[in-house]
Chains A and B, each alone.
Chain A
């Protein structure tokens, strides 16, 4: 077994030893230094796209006069790095990035909160789409769909300011299983599935999936495709599976894990646990 080399870095004046390659974001978390992020999720591949987590980095042993900006979520720790998470340069640029994000998603609670925290009281910019999409193109929805759910139902189309998250050709929603993981991870809360006429719908992606309703109480349980996928993975009777979590419990069946899976709509227990622990943590 290879032993990962330990490196010493300094974050905001505090020394820490971490395995080489640990991201600066992770190392900062160990020191309980909070660096804001939007496109980052512990269980998904790093993207480095929102740039909110930018930090100022220098390597005094190599060149004391040079410092540069990089995003903490993707930048690996290497020996001797000196990192400032709240230097004037970082704060100035981060504030500007938040202003730009606000122009993209003016209705997002989370971004409004960030803006207020950073002293932005009045929006200065108007985005190309005037903020109608409310999407900051962080790609979390796409990454959770591809990497954890493995449905690969959505992706980016277009580039630059015309980029958007869509289902194939904006019409083929049939890869979607209706798990709503994308809705759960979306930082701007712009992904909304609706139940209409007994179907789970997201019109702009062409999604219309048949819903299963609890035979006992009538509550929605999940989409039928998702139920089919779950049946392949766990041992459960059709009768119990079609019940909502509450009614299943009433049926005196100890299936806590199953409840979680179906309620949240994830394909694997560990996926669910990881996601929820991140959300609450």
Chain B
């Protein structure tokens, strides 16, 4: 069906809503996290069982619900029953009891770790309670492959408002007033960017969506494209109208097959419905989007490298003295925003800049999606208002540190972000605040580290990633990062010298100052921030040749505690290098000459008798 006007879209929405409101639904999460726990099998089984038992219920495979730790997840509506960690063997019971009779199966409910209470509804779970889901609001509700689902929830109403009531300047004014800043890492004011692209002279203009999310462990943009692709398309349509662009591109990494599949389907549907193409909804706006799959280079998230890659060249940044809003893709004015930024646009238009502006801090407005991972109980995707404290995120939403361990640091902003220690847990999440702490917002990665984490090793790990991902164009980033990595490796191997610390700082500052692009300019952050907050740990490695958390293998040895060893022989059997000696019921010993410190004995010992010394 091709819609030719705003009124038609409204009547279609009314019609669809009436038709669907009577139906019960069961939403099974089909996000990448739940798929990894085999949710696809569950879906097949669920469909089969429901058909067999002839139950009148709509089954939806939705995008990510957020609480990936406890997947696969399911929500039965309208009762709002939330089930977690579902096994294929549970399906029969779910269909029989819950879908047919509306009964609740206690075993599959979320249990509050504090109170031990079983919680039925999704919103009652502390993980969701403190979140403010705007951009992610529909992720667990709609079928990303269904344009009807998006339209029912009010989808494309922001577009119709823009087309019928607003001028491009008014749209830009609204985005400016909202205070929205780019969610991809730079935090540049979105409205300002749009304005400079609108006024830039050019025979044609582009709007581009940056979906080259490259931070290890981050999957915010991925989940948005997978779970609600039309919100990104609607945002880009509004952007195209405001800027005066006819062509759009989405640059998405090929490693995100489901995101690619869903956005391509969504674009095809939008074309069929007349929401992309010539004279959209009978207006003067003509706009279409092409999807380009990237090869997965981290540097291609940088705007100029991304545009090089879009044009078929290798992804190398250029200096940005001429902004891409003036000369970007094919040297034409190009407005690049990230997935989450685009998805914020329909919300701002629908609810108004004044409403949006009330959320957040003076410098950072709206909400931000984070991927909360690492040593935290509830890993997953969260959306919180800007300004929430790190403590609330880690302890209230994240549920704190598992295993009774102590919090040590939180790494924000992806590989080129910094590590923030415990004394700053009450600082709020905000673009400027995180920068002042020597880290950054980045695209929204949050990695929690506990007392068992070695900060020198953390810095070394991130540097090894960045050395791998540096494009190699400029000397400071290519050679400087390699030298930083060499020094850090040396320190973790117990070969560090005291002058190494000065060299780390010297090289780090130079790379930060004189690299060509933002990758290089931020790449020393993992080193500089850990040096700033955890210098003692560096000194311990260098002077005492010790790694207290027992991570750097060269700096500790495994030893068996004579008091605790029961002579069960388990470690001896499991040791792949026959490095453990001792007879049954006699105390075992580790031959340090044979031991490669694989840690298997440490993991298997049930009596806590294997120690790192």
**Which of B467, B475, B513 lies in contact with A49, CB distance below 8 A?**
B475
B319 and A100 contact, CB distance less than 8 A? no
User: How far, in whole Å, are A75 and B319 apart by their CA atoms in the complex?
Assistant: 8
| Whole-angstrom distance between the Cβ of A116 and the nearest chain B Cβ | 19
Which residue of A49, A75, A76 contacts B473 across the interface (Cβ within 8 Å)?
A49
> What is the minimal beta-carbon distance from B322 to any residue of chain A, in angstroms?
8
Which of B515-541 touch A at CB < 8 Å?
Answer: 515-516
Give the number of chain A interface residues (Cβ < 8 Å). 37
Q: Given A96-B506, A97-B510, A100-B480: A160 and B472 within 8 A (CB)?
A: yes
A69, CB-defined interface residue at 8 Å: yes
Task: Take A71-B319, A160-B467 as given contacts and tell me if A96 and B474 are in contact as well, using a CB distance cutoff of 8 Å.
Answer: no
**B321 engages A100 (CB within 8 Å):** no
Contact indicator B319/A101 (Cβ below 8 Å): no
> Would you call A217 an interface residue if the criterion is a C-beta within 8 Å of the partner chain's C-beta atoms?
no
Task: Check if A100 sits within 8 Å of B475, measured CB to CB.
Answer: yes
The interface residues of chain A lying within 8 Å CB-to-CB of B318 are: 48
Closest to A139 in B: B473
Does B556 have its Cβ within 8 Å of any Cβ on chain A?
no
B475 touches A75 (CB 8 A): no
Interchain CB contact under 8 A, B514 and A137: no
B406 touches A (CB below 8 Å)? no
* Minimum CB distance partner of A98 in chain B: B475
CA–CA, A27 to B314, complex, Å?
32
How many Å lie between the Cα of A137 and that of B479 in the bound state?
11
Of all chain A residues, the one with the shortest Cβ separation from B509 is A93
Name which residue of chain B comes closest to A164, CB basis. B472
Contact (Cβ within 8 A) A51 B319: no
A contact residues around B483 at 8 Å (CB): 100, 103, 125
The digit string for B193-213, where 1 denotes a CB below 8 A from any CB of A, is 000000000000000000000
Question: Whole-angstrom distance between the alpha carbons of A48 and B510 in the complex?
Answer: 16
Which residues on A sit within 8 Å (CB–CB) of B475? 49-52, 97, 100-101, 136
CA distance A49 to B516 in the complex (A): 7
**When each residue 148-161 of chain A gets 1 if its CB lies under 8 Å from chain B and 0 otherwise, what string results?**
00000000101111
The answer to whether residues A69 and B321 also contact, given A100-B479, A160-B478 and a CB cut-off of 8 A, is no
Chain B, interface SS category = helix
Judged by a CB distance under 8 angstroms, whether B468 is at the interface is: yes
Which residues between 461 and 517 of chain B lie within 8 Å of chain A, taking CB atoms? 467-476, 478-480, 482-483, 486, 506-507, 509-510, 513-516
Task: Verify if B233 is at the interface (C-beta below 8 Å from A).
Answer: no
B482 touches which of A89, A101, A161 (Cβ 8 Å): A161
The reply to whether A93 and B478 contact each other, CB–CB distance below 8 Å, is: no
Contact yes or no, A54 B319, CB < 8 A = no
Check: A1 CB closer than 8 A to any chain B CB.
Answer: no
Q: Tell which of B474, B506, B509 touches A48, judged by Cβ atoms closer than 8 Å.
A: B474
Cβ contact within 8 Å between B314 and A160: no
Contacts of A70 in B (CB 8 A): 319
Q: Contact at B470–A51, with CB atoms within 8 Å?
A: no
Q: Are B467 and A51 in contact (CB under 8 A)?
A: no
* Nearest opposing residue in chain B for A128, CB measure: B482
Q: Output the nearest chain A residue to B322 by Cβ-Cβ distance.
A: A76
B384 interface contact, C-beta 8 A:
no
How far apart are A254's CB and chain B's nearest CB, in angstroms? 44
Kindly report which residue of chain B lies nearest to residue A162, judged by CB atoms. B472
A127 close to B (CB within 8 Å): yes
With contacts A71-B319, A74-B319 taken as known, whether A161 is within 8 angstroms of B478 at the C-beta atoms is yes
B516 touches A51 (CB 8 A): yes
Q: Is A104 an interface residue (CB 8 A)?
A: yes
Which of B314, B478, B513 contacts A137, CB < 8 Å?
B478
In addition to A51-B515, A74-B319, 9 A-B residue pairs with Cβ atoms within 8 Å of each other are: A54-B513, A69-B513, A71-B319, A96-B506, A97-B476, A100-B479, A100-B480, A101-B479, A156-B314
A and B contact pairs by CB, cutoff 8 A, 5 listed: A93-B513, A103-B483, A158-B472, A160-B469, A163-B471
